[in-house]
A and B are shown apart, each in its own frame.
Chain A
Amino acid sequence: MPSPTSVTEPRTITPAGPASTEPTAAGTAVLDRVAARVRQRLEAEEGATARVGDGAHAASLIWPWPL
Chain B
Amino acid sequence: MTEPEGPVPFRTFILKVANRCNIDCDYCFVFNSKDQAARRLPARMDLAVARAAARRIGEHASAHRLRTIHVVLHGGEPLLVGAGHMTGLLETVRDAAPTGTRVLFELQTNGTLLSGAWLDLFERYEVAVGVSLDGPPPANDRHRLTHAGRSSAASAVRGIELLRSRPHLFAGLLAVVDLANDPVEVHDYLAAFEPPVIDFGLPHATHDDPPHRADPSVPEYGLWMSKVYDAWLDRPEYGHSVRMLEDIVALSSGVRGSVETLGLAPPTSVVIESDGSIEAVDTLRSVEEGATWLGLDVLRHSFDEALSHPKLLHRQHGKDALAEHCRACPLVDVCGGGYLPHRFSEAQGYRNPSVYCADLEYLIRHVQGSLRQHGWDPYAQAASSP
Contacts and interface: CB of A to CB of B under 8 A. Distances in A.
**Are A and B subunits of one complex?**
yes
Interface residues of A, number: 57
Which of B108, B281, B373 has the largest count of A CB atoms less than 10 A from its CB? B373
B174 A2 contact: no
B212 interface: yes
B374 A31 contact: yes
A3 B281 CA distance: 26
B108 A59 contact: yes
A62 B68 CA distance: 13
B235 A26 contact: yes
Contacts of B382: 35, 39
Contact of A24 (B174, B226, B234, B255): B234
B378 A38 contact: yes
B358 A5 contact: no
A54 B12 CA distance: 10
Contacts of B230: 21
Contacts of B94: none
Nearest to A16: B369
B249 A7 contact: no
Interface string A52-67: 1111111111111101
Interface residues of chain B: helix, strand, loop or mixed (majority): mixed
Contacts of A57: 12, 14, 72, 260, 269, 281
Contacts of A35: 376-378, 380-382
A6 to B, nearest CB: 4
Interface string B116-139: 000000000000101000000000
Interface stretch (B153-161, B193-201, B287-295): B193-201
B79 interface: no
Contacts of B46: none
Contacts of A8: 207, 352-353, 355, 357
Interface residues of B, number: 95
Given A5-B210, A42-B255, A61-B172, A18 B366 contact: yes
A58 B209 CA distance: 20
Contacts of A30: 232-233, 235-236
Contacts of A18: 362, 365-366
Q: Chain B CB within 10 Å — which of A7, A8, A14, A23 has the most?
A: A7
B106 A59 contact: no
Interface in B10-35: 11-12, 14, 29
Given A13-B361, A60-B108, A53 B267 contact: yes
Contacts of A55: 257-259, 265, 268
A67 B366 contact: no
Nearest to B129: A61
A8 B353 CA distance: 6
Given A37-B241, A58-B259, A9 B353 contact: yes
Contacts of B68: 64
Nearest to A64: B70
A54 B257 contact: yes
Interface string B342-383: 000000000011011111011001111111111111111110
Contacts of B379: 39
B233 A27 contact: yes
A19 B365 CA distance: 10
B369 A39 contact: no
B12 A13 contact: no
B339 A10 contact: no
15 contacts: A2-B210, A7-B210, A13-B365, A15-B369, A16-B369, A21-B229, A27-B374, A32-B381, A37-B250, A41-B257, A51-B5, A51-B6, A52-B256, A52-B265, A67-B196
Given A15-B365, A60-B72, A67-B241, 17 more contacts: A7-B358, A10-B353, A19-B226, A21-B370, A26-B236, A27-B234, A29-B236, A33-B241, A34-B246, A39-B379, A53-B265, A53-B266, A53-B268, A54-B267, A61-B108, A63-B171, A64-B70
